Amino acid sequence: MYVPKQAVSNDELAQRGLDTSDEWIRTRTGIARRHLAGDHETTAQMAIAAAHDALEVADADPREIDLIILATVTSNHLMPSTACMVQDALGAIRAGAFDLNAGCSGFVYALSLAQQAIASGEHNLVLVIGAETLSRVLNWEDRGTCVLFGDGAGAVLLRATEGPAGIQASVIGSDGSGSNLLIIPAGGSAMPATRDTVDQKLHCIQMNGQEVFRFATTILAQATEQVVTKAGWQIEDVALIVPHQANMRIIASASKRLKLPVERFVVNLEEYGNTSAASIPIALCEAVQAGRIAPGENIVLVGFGAGLTWGATAIKWSVAPGEAAAPSYRNVWRWLLYRWAGLRSFTRQKARRMLVLFIRKADHLGRR
Ligand SMILES: CC(C)(COP(=O)(O)OP(=O)(O)OC[C@H]1O[C@@H](n2cnc3c(N)ncnc32)[C@H](O)[C@@H]1OP(=O)(O)O)[C@@H](O)C(=O)NCCC(=O)NCCS
């Protein structure tokens, strides 16, 4: 996982002139701080940093990756996919790469696709990333949204295995009748950027908080129950639930509906707020690092968000705690591969440019 260094507290937001208070934000959401990207940090950079760690923890070779799926609603650009920049930076020369936009459910959607790509026999090693720079699409004058979100990235590697462990079941769903409830109205083909759209801050997140809240409290429990049934488990068999980190009250409500103690849920939104598609992999990573997940245990990842979308994944955890510990040293060989990837990218860009110049020159001489 990767989160920007810059942490901004609720009090700091109030001091910056926003009409809010630490007390309001904490009691209504559970959020105390959020980490915000610095001027030079982008979704691609955070995704690459998280991917570096995932490759190191898994001790994997980037050249063996078959597919990279980057779940995000804040791609570096509308086109091309940020996943391609990640592929280039990692030197993942065999990998296909694309972005997936399923709102805050994006990571769970991506896991579902990755698992199916592996189960089909087509792919062996798939990198799944959730990365967001939401601070760039927030209206910092709208207290109903800007206090909720933060930036960051998390990544996992999925590998084909013979064992009975791993992803046991996935569910994904969508209800587009709620597409207006959580939306960035402008910047797409329906409303291209104009001076007016910028002036009206239509390139920022708009949300109907109460409607989204109502949807989230129901769907979190429902999606969990669905995936548990599909996996052939009972709800009591689930050791840990890693929910999308949107609001403590939403998680508490799901815990009540599922009749599971709230301690069974991973909660880190106090520190990071809602990092959309990055929230589940960041929470998963922290749970692993804290030793909260043991091999053989059943865990559920569950998300919901813009679309409206939802999704859940049932996993029998198979990685021993030691194996999944935070990387403590730099692997020199992998570091060299990344330097090589940078050089390769640079020379390919230059070679492409020189080829164009050469063809133009030849064309010019031919015409004379
Ligand atoms: C956004 C959310 C925290 C608002 O909480 P709420 O209890 O529903 O609050 P309301 O929207 O009813 O607003 C209550 C009052 O607080 C005010 N308020 C809103 N944001 C505020 C803030 N940051 N600080 C202080 N007051 C605030 C509102 O203006 C309103 O004031 P009013 O009664 O004078 O009009 C809550 O609706 C929520 O969490 N929704 C789901 C959001 C979410 O999870 N989104 C992401 C999904 S992926």
Say which of 35, 52, 123, 244 is annotated catalytic: 244
Helix axes of 43-58 and 332-367: crossing angle, nearest 10 degrees: 130
For residue 288, give both structure tokens. Answer: 């692993």
Distance CA 358, CA 368 (A): 15
Per-residue model confidence (pLDDT) at position 41: 97
**CA 23 to CA 322: how far, in whole Å?**
39
What the block records as the tokens of 219 is 């769907």
CA–centroid distance, 24 to ligand 1, in Å, is 9
b/e per residue 144-168 (b: at least 16 CB within 10 A): ebbbbbbbbbbbbbbeeeeeeebbb
CATH architecture of the domain with range 7-316: 3-Layer(aba) Sandwich (3.40)
Active site residue 52: no
User: Which residue's alpha carbon is at the smallest distance from atom 24 of ligand 1?
Assistant: 20
End-to-end CA distance of the chain: 58
Neighbours of 178 (CB within 10 A): 17
Residue nearest to atom 23 of ligand 1 (CA): 143
**pLDDT score at 162:** 81
Q: Is 29 in the pocket of ligand 1 (CB under 6 A)?
A: yes
The per-residue pLDDT for 222 is: 97
Q: How far apart are CA 240 and CA 263, in angstroms?
A: 8
Q: Exactly one of 10, 52, 104, 123 is catalytic; name it.
A: 104
Distance CA 117, CA 96 (A): 12
Give the alpha-carbon dihedral of 213, 216, 222, 226, to 10 degrees.
Answer: 170
Question: Atom 8, ligand 1: which residue's CA is nearest?
Answer: 210
Q: 182-183 and 96-100: which strand pairing? A: unpaired
What is the C-alpha to C-alpha distance for residues 167 and 119, in angstroms, rounded to an integer? 10
Contact 140 CB / ligand 1 (< 6 Å): no
Taking the C-alpha atoms of residue 45 and residue 85, their distance in angstroms, rounded to an integer, is: 9
- Dump pLDDT digits (tens) for 26-48: 999 999 999 999 999 999 999 99
Nearest to 97, CA basis, from 59, 127, 55, 133: 127
User: CA separation (Å) from 298 to 105, 140, 317, 344?
Assistant: 20, 40, 6, 42
CA 325 – CA 302 distance, rounded (Å): 23
In this structure, the strands spanning 33-35 and 298-305 are: unpaired
**Residue 25: CB within 6 Å of ligand 1?**
yes
How far apart (Å, rounded) are the C-alpha atoms in residues 288 and 60?
18
Residue in 13, 180, 247 to alter for ligand 1 test, most ligand atoms within 8 A of Cβ: 247
274 labelled catalytic: yes
What is the distance in A from the centroid of ligand 1 to the CA of 171? 29
Q: Tens digit of pLDDT for each residue in 274-301? A: 999 999 999 999 999 999 999 999 999 9
Tell me how far the alpha carbon of residue 209 lies from the centroid of ligand 1, in angstroms. 6
Separation of 279 CA from ligand 1 center, angstroms? Answer: 20
Tell me which residue of 21, 31, 9, 23 sits closest to 249, measured CA to CA.
Answer: 31
Measured CA distances, 129 to 158, 192, 205 (Å)? 11, 28, 22
Q: Which residues contact 158 (CB under 8 A, 6 or more apart)?
A: 111, 114, 115, 118, 125, 126, 127, 128, 166, 167
140 Cα: distance to centroid of ligand 1 (angstroms): 15
Residue extents of the structural domains in the chain: 7-316, 331-368
Residue 124 annotated to the active site: no
Q: What is the pLDDT along the chain (368 residues), one digit of tens a residue?
A: 999 999 999 999 999 999 999 999 999 999 999 999 999 999 999 999 999 999 998 889 999 999 999 999 999 999 999 999 999 999 999 999 999 999 999 999 999 999 999 999 999 999 999 999 999 999 999 999 999 999 999 999 999 988 788 999 999 999 999 999 999 999 999 999 999 999 999 999 999 999 999 999 999 999 999 999 999 999 999 999 999 999 999 999 999 999 999 999 999 999 999 999 999 999 999 999 999 999 999 999 999 999 999 999 999 998 765 555 455 555 788 888 999 999 999 999 999 888 888 888 888 888 87
